[in-house]
């Protein structure tokens, strides 16, 4: 069963009098538990596509279904609820809340988004901090953690609400190769542990090979889809 279905999706931005098509005519299906990389040069539409799938943006044309929900029809509140329940986000700059400790950052979606009872929150946070190898640094604030450690916390935060899909926009762009590699491996492990699909964007050729499905974008168009070595031209 497809977790993500895009049908003829296009997104146009208007810059003054100029129309810029960030993505054009995308048809895409991603199954549950997939580990997918969006690749392509800067401006190819990777981030726009992630934003559209994540309900952060609306397509100009076409339809997007995620987990059975028609994301393209949501209003603000519905989109927020959908993201809180169905999607986890990992950002290039980690984007941890600086006034919260690592554990509190992970706990945040369970308090402010899903409102889970405290015992359940504590157990989930402890389990995830352990799983991402950050249990011994749970009380440290983001500015006391390295980039790799912050991204581990961000991965735990993305998973704590048990989403079906985690979207990661250039999660390794600000990390050195070894750390980037360990983050990708962590994401893969989490995928295996929680059966959560991961879609990440990257233009780092060294980690593209870690993805099971590689979707290549150029000038907003999907130009190829490679599944475990099998290349399918769009």
The site for other proteins (CB under 8 A) is made up of 51, 54, 56-57, 76-77, 80-85, 87, 89, 91, 93, 95, 97-100, 108-109, 111-113, 157, 161
Nearer to other proteins, 98 or 117 (CB): 98
Distance CA 194, CA 218 (A): 32
* Closest separation in Å from C-beta 142 to other proteins: 11
Distance CA 164, CA 85 (A): 9
- The nearer residue to other proteins, 92 or 216, going by C-beta atoms, is 92
Provide the edge-to-edge strand list for the sheet that holds 221-227: 87-90, 165-169, 197-202, 35-39, 213-218, 221-227, 230-233
Q: Which residues of 77-86 are buried (b: 16+ CB within 10 A; e: fewer)?
A: eebeebbbbb
At its nearest, how many Å lie between other proteins and the CB of residue 31? 23
Question: Minimum Å distance from CB 95 to other proteins?
Answer: 4
User: In terms of DSSP H, where are the helices of the chain?
Assistant: 46-53, 76-86, 102-108, 118-131, 147-159, 177-194, 205-208
Whose Cβ is closer to other proteins: residue 101's or residue 216's?
A: 101
Which C-beta is closer to other proteins: that of 10 or that of 216?
10
Residue 113 or 208 having the CB closest to other proteins: 113
How near is the Cβ of 14 to other proteins at its closest, in Å? 14
Q: How far is the CB of 164 from other proteins (least distance, A)?
A: 14
Whole-angstrom distance, CA of residue 105 vs CA of residue 156: 9
Q: Measured from the CB of residue 158, what is the shortest distance to other proteins in angstroms? A: 8
28 has which bridge partners? 6
Nearest to other proteins of 125, 214 (CB atom): 125
Contact 214, 208 (CB under 8 A): yes
């Amino acid at each position: 069963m497809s977790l993500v279905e895009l049908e003829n999706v296009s997104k146009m931005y208007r810059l003054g009098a100029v129309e810029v098509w960030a993505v054009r005519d995308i048809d895409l299906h991603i199954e549950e538990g997939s580990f997918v990389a969006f690749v392509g040069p800067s401006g190819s539409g990777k981030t726009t596509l992630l934003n559209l799938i994540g309900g952060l943006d609306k397509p100009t044309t076409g339809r997007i279904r995620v987990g059975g929900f028609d994301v393209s029809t949501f209003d603000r509140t519905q989109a927020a609820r959908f993201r809180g329940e169905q999607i986890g986000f990992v950002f290039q700059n980690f984007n941890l809340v600086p006034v919260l400790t690592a554990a509190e950052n992970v706990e945040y979606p369970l308090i402010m988004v899903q409102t889970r009872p405290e015992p359940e929150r504590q157990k989930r946070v402890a389990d995830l901090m352990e799983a991402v190898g950050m249990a011994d640094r749970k009380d440290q604030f983001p500015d006391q953690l390295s980039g790799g450690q912050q991204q581990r916390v961000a991965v735990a935060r993305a998973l704590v609400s048990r989403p079906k899909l985690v979207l990661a926009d250039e999660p390794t762009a600000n990390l050195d190769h070894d750390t980037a590699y360990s983050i990708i491996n962590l994401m893969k492990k989490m995928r295996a542990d929680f059966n959560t699909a991961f879609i990440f964007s990257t233009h780092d050729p060294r980690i593209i090979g870690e993805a099971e499905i590689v979707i290549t974008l150029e000038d907003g168009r999907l130009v190829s889809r490679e599944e475990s070595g099998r290349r399918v031209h769009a």
